[in-house]
Amino acid sequence: MKRILTLILLFCLGVFLPFGCTANQSNAPQTTPTANVLNLYNWSTYIDPEVLKAFEQKYQVKINYDTYDSAESLYAKLKAGNPGYDVAFPPDYMVKIMINEQMLEELNGDNIPNIKNIEPNFFNPPYDPGNKYSIPYQWITLGIGYNIKKTGEEINSWSALVDPKYQGKVSLLDDMRHTMGAILMYLGYSPNTKNPEEIQKARDFLIKNKDNIAAFAPDTGQQLLNQGEVTLTMEYSGDIFQVMAENPDLRYVIPKEGSIIGMDNMVIPKGAPNKKLAETFINFVLEPENSAKISNFIDYASPNKVAIDQKLIEAENLKNPGIYPPAEIFNKLQYLQDVGEATKFYDEAWTEVKVGVGK
Q: How far is CA 129 from CA 84, 103, 123, 270, in A?
A: 26, 16, 8, 19
* Angle, alpha carbons 160-142-82 (nearest 5°): 140
Please tell me the predicted confidence (pLDDT) of residue 70. Answer: 86
Supply the pTM of this predicted model.
Answer: 0.77
What is the DSSP annotation of 78-98? Answer: HHT---S-SEE--BHHHHHHH
Query: pLDDT, tens digit, for every residue of 297-337?
Result: 998 999 999 999 999 999 999 999 989 999 899 999 999 98
CATH topology of domain 140-261+325-357: D-Maltodextrin-Binding Protein; domain 2 (3.40.190)
Question: Which range (33-47, 221-235, 311-325) has the least confidence?
Answer: 33-47
Query: pLDDT, tens digit, for every residue of 163-180?
Result: 999 999 999 999 999 999
**Domain 2-138+263-318 bears CATH identifier 3.40.190.10:** yes
Task: Delimit the CATH 3.40.190.10 region(s) of the chain.
Answer: 2-138+263-318, 140-261+325-357
Please tell me the predicted confidence (pLDDT) of residue 301. Answer: 95
Instruction: Say how far apart CA 35 and CA 140 lie, in whole Å.
Output: 33
Q: pLDDT > 90: what percent of the chain?
A: 82
Instruction: Say how far apart CA 303 and CA 238 lie, in whole Å.
Output: 14
46 known member of a binding site? no
Q: Are 153 and 260 in contact (CB under 8 A)?
A: no
- For 110-256, strand residue ranges (E) read 135-147, 170-173, 213-217, 232-236, 250-253
